[in-house]
Structure 1
Amino acid sequence: MKFIFYNGNPSEERRKRLDELCNGEKFPFNHTTKYKSVFFPEFENVLSVVVPPDMNRKYNCFAHALGITEWVVSAVIAQAIKNNDLKPTENPRSGDIVIYCESSLDYIRHAGKFISGKVVSSKWASGSVFKHDTFMCPIQYGDRVAYFHAIDLELAQELVKKYEDFNKSDLQP
């Protein structure tokens, strides 16, 4: 499996700023209407909103990457990769899964869907789904990515059920 590494672009400062803005205690990044004042106009030329936050639907980046709308923790993704339920690819196509990690796939931090080139759509915690360049996201999401073939809704639901014992976290809403 091939990793794509963060090369310093965008700057660490911009990625750290996105970390700061995704702090729900300080900024209403996941509020249905107030989120716009958090990210825009500062990032309007590098982020576009695909789906605004929905206070009634609590799902995260891993669910978005799988195409479902229930909370999924990184351990489910890690198990699916470990057991070869998700197949790596070095030539991603639109809709393929992008996994963000630190140092190795043992430290999965974030996920999204590949669109094209260097463009990804990803859900930031319980906030918006953004379209952005691969590393134009909070720095806490990691410094490398790996790509996996997209799966259909039925298989995604099967994986969540198969690894339901791993799908527990204090971070769930």
Structure 2
Amino acid sequence: MPGELLPPLEDRCSIARTLEAVGDRWTLLILRDLFRGVRRFERLHEDLGIARNLLTDRLRRLEDAEIVQRVPYQQRPLRHEYRLTASGRDLSPALIALMSWGDRWQAEDGPPTLLIHDACETPIQYTVRCPSCDEPVAAHHIRSRPGPGRHSLSTGVAR
């Protein structure tokens, strides 16, 4: 509405809110390793070459955002591993999209890793598909419009 006072962009943009939770290099690489089955702190530390304090901080942030959960795997001494929650597992398409972009535009010699569909052994490709007709959709055939959450984010003050 004309004159409508809206909250800051980061409060009304799903991309901005998502980047608050997962938008730095280390967090995305931690998520990549968690998707690959690396769950323990020491192994994450070794695989990534990340400083322990940074790894601790990023894992805490992911826990706070309910993207990962810390689960005990040993009682004496108490040790934990990190597992993706349902919310974390839902980030899979985003990571696959980033990987696909990197494979296409940043890997001159081809993809360093292939993701293989277990059922048929075929390398997967990231594609945005229409949920109604199941056709692939190119970016230039997508438009945006206000969604139902836009109004719940407004301050309610209109002029």
Q: TM-score, normalised by structure 1?
A: 0.22
Q: TM-score, normalised by structure 2?
A: 0.23
Q: Which has the higher helix share?
A: 2
